[in-house]
Chains A and B, each alone.
Chain A
Amino acid sequence: MAGLVPPGTTTIPADASKTAHTKHEEKTDYMNLPCPIPYEEIHREALMSLKPETFEGLRFDFTKGLNQKFSLSHSVFMGPTEIPSQSAETIKIPTAHYEFGANFIDPSLMLIGRVLTDGRLNARVKWDLTDNLTVKANAQLTNEPHMSHGMVNFDYKGKDYRSQLQMGNGALFGASYIQSVTQHLSLGGEVFWAGQHRKSGIGYAARYDTDKMVATGQVASTGMVALSYVQKVSEKVSLASDLMYNYMSRDVTASVGYDYILRQCRLRGKIDSNGCTAAYLEERLNMGLNFVLSAEIDHRKKDYKFGFGLTVG
């Protein structure tokens, strides 16, 4: 990799270290490397800039805190929802739903539940059994038979590595491991086996991060190659770019985006090679009151999605 800087090789004399040096090269202590980012969050910075949660229609979220740890949320959504169709045209049907949620957030236990008017439940649990072992569970339950999904993860965090074991319904098993190799570089791999579809796969990922930039690469045997690069231009601005290539289906997508984090608002936008541009604005009108605007324009499929909303609390 062109941007790879060899770990610092100069040692600091004792008196110079006491002077006000904000950044200095230290001899890399290979026994004390930092703990790496969890494997599934390896593209985290790029996803935050390039994949904002755009929506279409009206969204209103109200979160009411009853005490420090416990809160209830009420959410109303009205707008067209896309349903998957075989033809190239997008089919949208107008839907409206109300979602009630209860959250309990404690340093060691987190429970989040959301239930919609049509009976669908979305539940997430995260429980820190010990300092290093965490159990996470995720479930989407519906009233229709055979449409519910559930997944349990066991995460073990070591000194400079993380490992995870995943089990899901439909005989889905996965395991991943990521290790810090130097101060800035971490490498990891994963395997998964899906019993229902009789598929298995293996993947590798690498992440190089410094204070100013993050570069990640991921390859999987399902044919996916994903590379991303995020540069933090200043405290308020970051730019991101991403390339996704599927060598089985010969499908390439490249996208470039920006993320402005300003005092009163956060603006994210992206443009990609499929002719799709998106933007997402969150403006803080007042303490606890946020106004959200979302736009996604797909010129190739002629699909225009605009949404607005208000988040309280």
Chain B
Amino acid sequence: MASRVSLKSKGKAGKGSKGSEEKSIAQCLKEWSTWTMKKAKVVTHYGFIPLVIIIGMNSEPKPQIYQLLSPV
């Protein structure tokens, strides 16, 4: 941990133009998990009903495609 801290301070001194932008492991993890959650939400929103339909159409006995749309 000590070496990591010293590397960070060296980096800070070197790239002064970056300002105080410090990326710790916790922040990285939080950003990645937020990004994953956002993508998962979009995937679920568009893909859940098609997923249920695909699983249903492949279950035994297999229904026909026209049965999806006809009201009988």
Residues of A within 8 A of B (CB): 62, 64, 66-72, 100, 102-104, 106, 111-113, 115, 121, 123, 139, 141, 148, 150, 169
Residues of B within 8 A of A102 (CB): 49, 52-53, 56
Instruction: Give bound CA distance, A69 to B41, whole Å.
Output: 26
Q: Name the contact of B61 in the complex, choosing from A67, A100, A104, A150 (C-beta under 8 A).
A: A67
Q: Which residue of A lies closest to B70 (CB)?
A: A64
* Cβ contact within 8 Å between A104 and B71: no
Residues of A within 8 A of B68 (CB): 66, 72
CB-defined interface of B32-68 with A at 8 Å, one 1/0 digit per residue?
0000010001001100110111011101111100011
* Cβ contact within 8 Å between B56 and A69: yes
Residues of A within 8 A of B71 (CB): 62, 64
Q: Interface residues of A: mostly helix, strand, loop or mixed?
A: strand
Residues of A within 8 A of B56 (CB): 66-67, 69-71, 102, 104
Residues of B within 8 A of A169 (CB): 37
* Cβ contact within 8 Å between B45 and A113: no
* Cβ contact within 8 Å between B49 and A100: yes
Name 21 A/B residue pairs within 8 A (Cβ), A-sorted: A66-B57, A67-B60, A67-B61, A69-B56, A70-B57, A102-B49, A102-B52, A103-B52, A104-B55, A104-B59, A106-B59, A111-B51, A111-B52, A113-B49, A121-B44, A121-B49, A123-B44, A123-B48, A139-B44, A141-B41, A169-B37
Instruction: Give bound CA distance, A69 to B48, whole Å.
Output: 17
Residues of B within 8 A of A71 (CB): 56
Residues of B within 8 A of A111 (CB): 51-52, 55
Instruction: Give bound CA distance, A35 to B41, whole Å.
Output: 36
Residues of A within 8 A of B37 (CB): 169
A66-B56, A70-B55 are known; give 10 further A-B pairs, CB within 8 A. Answer: A64-B71, A67-B59, A70-B63, A71-B56, A100-B49, A104-B59, A111-B51, A112-B52, A113-B49, A121-B44
Q: Which residue of A lies closest to B67 (CB)?
A: A66
* Cβ contact within 8 Å between A69 and B52: no
Residues of B within 8 A of A72 (CB): 68
Residue of A66, A68, A106 with most chain B CB atoms under a 10 A cut-off: A66
Q: Name the contact of B49 in the complex, choosing from A62, A64, A115, A150 (C-beta under 8 A).
A: A115
Minimum CB–CB distance from B34 to chain A (whole Å) comes to: 11
Q: Which residue of B lies closest to A137 (CB)?
A: B44
Minimum CB–CB distance from B53 to chain A (whole Å) comes to: 5
Residues of A within 8 A of B44 (CB): 121, 123, 139, 141
Residues of B within 8 A of A70 (CB): 55-57, 59, 63
Instruction: Give bound CA distance, A112 to B53, whole Å.
Output: 10
Q: Which residue of A lies closest to B69 (CB)?
A: A72
* Cβ contact within 8 Å between A67 and B49: no
Q: Name the contact of A148 in the complex, choosing from B41, B53, B63 (C-beta under 8 A).
A: B41
Minimum CB–CB distance from B49 to chain A (whole Å) comes to: 5
